[in-house]
Amino acid sequence: MKYARYFCLVVAVVSAAQARHPVRARNAMVVAQEPHATDAGVSVLKAGGNAVDAAVAVAFALAVTHPTAGNLGGGGFLLARMADGRTAFIDFRERAPEKATRDMYLDAAGKPTGDSLQGWRASGVPGTARGLEMAHKKLGRRGWAELVAPAVGLARDGFVVSYALAESLRRAKRLAEFEESRRIFQKNGAYWEAGERFKQPELGATLERIARDGARGFYEGPVAERFAAAMARHGGLITAADLKDYKAIERTPLLGTYKGYQILTAPPPSSGGVGLLQMMGVLEGLGFEKHGAGSAAATHLVAETMRRFYADRSEHLGDPDFYKVPVTGLISKSYLARIRESIDPHRATPSDQWKPGSPAREESAETTHFSIVDAEGNAVALTYTLNGGYGSGVTVPGLGFLLNNEMDDFSVKPGHPNLFGLVGGEANAIAPRKTPLSSMTPTIITRGGELFMVVGAPGGSRIITGVMQVILNAADYGMNAQEAIDQPRFHHQWKPDKLYTERGFSPDTIELLRQRGHDVETNTTGVALVEAIIVEGRGKDRWLAGGTDRRAHGKAAGY
């Protein structure tokens, strides 16, 4: 199966006896996909930092300890909701270099070459350092150098390699293709063993410069010069001017409702927030929840809703700075009603018979995610990425960081599927300085004006459906944070016309889905890796409940 090459997820079947409780804390909570990074965030919170300060520390730490997705050479989105009601969305997604062209990944016959997936030409201009700095300047309060320091220490002094990391690095064939990546991450074929201490002095020096000079230390000066020179030597497109000109963008978060909950989520160039609001808007009137979590009837209705959104995604979503995305039309009540009415409760709609809709146009893998709530009630959901596991496979010589292969998230050729099997159109075509469409879906949910949930995930095209199912599990089925994450998930993305199910669905349920006309592929490699915090109770009875996805090796911790 195509996806298995890029996601090494172990999906556990969770029985009632095996179900885990969430980690609970009174004051503050960090949930991330690597324990050292979680600990860095908790330390910042205990020292008086707020959720944004902790997010900066966690993100930089992940760049050291979680190289499959944590990064300096990638980009992402940060969503914040402060206790006083202020909100912010920072878009620090990678962008196409100035030299990028529409057909740069097609051969003379018009066929994709694969260069968008691996090597020096696969990378967009990284945004992580600029995005974290923008968030810190806007909402943080501790000193910048203090927040980068944990990552510097982890790189300089090293950290103990876990079994999971050792196995991941050993299996990463893409790293073996590039000399510097093979030297650092695979010990030139000797490989790292669990229990060894992994030191990264080149990355430590790059982080020290960022700690001292801010994001300018990455985008200008010696780091940028060395980065651009290496690009030129190897036929890459990113120049010193691309780096200097990169700016993070503050955008307005999307806001929607679902059964009395308020949903704050990611706007374009993410497709995730639009997808979440469209699908949940359709589901709100379908009554799927009456059939019970994991039932064939509920799964069918949700899968049909997924199918319809991913068809719309293929045509209507792109970078809003280059294409007028019909957000209002895609989530309008009239359009949602039309979608809802098209769903047959007893029969799947073949994808070849379902085309992208016509919403009103007037407007009023590999990734990682972490969720943070501080003692004051400030919340951050941050998702950032290199795209595929270990990105393009390239480590910049002398600087120690891996580069993304985010250019594959553009529609390399309209109608041709990308790394995650997603089909895109002209709205997401390559253009200089354009941002590729993303599925990242950092989301914060409130109820009655009070914080209820902070959630997000990695997982390529499956992020949106994975995040939505965890939200539904909590909102409709009353599951706690860990139960909501442990519940087996499923995914449909229009094309290919398959319903992917994790292990944990009964054979009877699978057979009933097939009888409804679904082409079910069982034991799929996981539908995202969701990390969530749910606020339980109020006042003196308030607890923060952190859930981490047992499909991976993260950690929830608080105090």
Q: Which residue among 65, 206, 265, 367 is the active-site one?
A: 367
**Tokens 């379908």 map to which residue?**
286
Q: Could you tell me where the DSSP H helices lie in 284-435?
A: 296-316, 327-330, 333-341
Residue type, 458: P
Q: 198 vs 119, 176, 389, CA distance in Å?
A: 24, 18, 19
The DSSP code sequence of 525-536 is S-S---EEEEEE
Which residues face 80 on adjacent strands? 88, 380
Which residues face 29 on adjacent strands? 373, 558
**Tokens 């951050």 map to which residue?**
380
Residue 367 bears catalytic tag: yes
Burial environment of residue 386 by CB neighbours within 10 A (0 to 12, 13 to 18, 19 or more): buried
* Tokens matching residue 250: 């503050």
Q: Within a 10 A sphere around the Cβ of 541, how many other Cβ atoms?
A: 7
Give helix 51-65 / helix 201-213 axis angle, nearest 10°. Answer: 160
* Tokens matching residue 292: 């019970």
- Parallel, antiparallel, or unpaired for β 520-521 and 499-501? parallel
* Tokens matching residue 340: 């809802």
Q: Which of 184, 114, 126, 141 is nearest to 55 (CA)?
A: 141
Per-residue pLDDT 10s for the chain (559 aa) are: 333 333 333 333 333 334 579 999 999 999 999 999 999 999 999 999 999 999 999 999 999 999 999 999 999 999 999 999 999 999 999 999 999 999 999 999 989 898 999 999 999 999 999 999 999 999 999 999 999 999 999 999 999 999 999 999 999 999 999 999 999 999 999 999 999 999 999 999 999 999 999 999 999 999 999 999 999 999 999 999 999 999 999 999 999 999 999 999 999 999 999 999 999 999 999 999 999 999 999 999 999 999 999 999 988 999 999 999 999 999 999 999 999 999 999 999 999 999 888 786 544 357 899 999 999 999 999 999 999 999 999 999 999 999 999 999 898 876 666 655 566 677 889 999 999 999 999 999 999 999 999 999 999 899 999 999 999 999 999 999 999 999 999 999 999 999 999 999 999 999 999 999 999 999 777 899 999 999 999 888 999 999 999 899 999 999 9
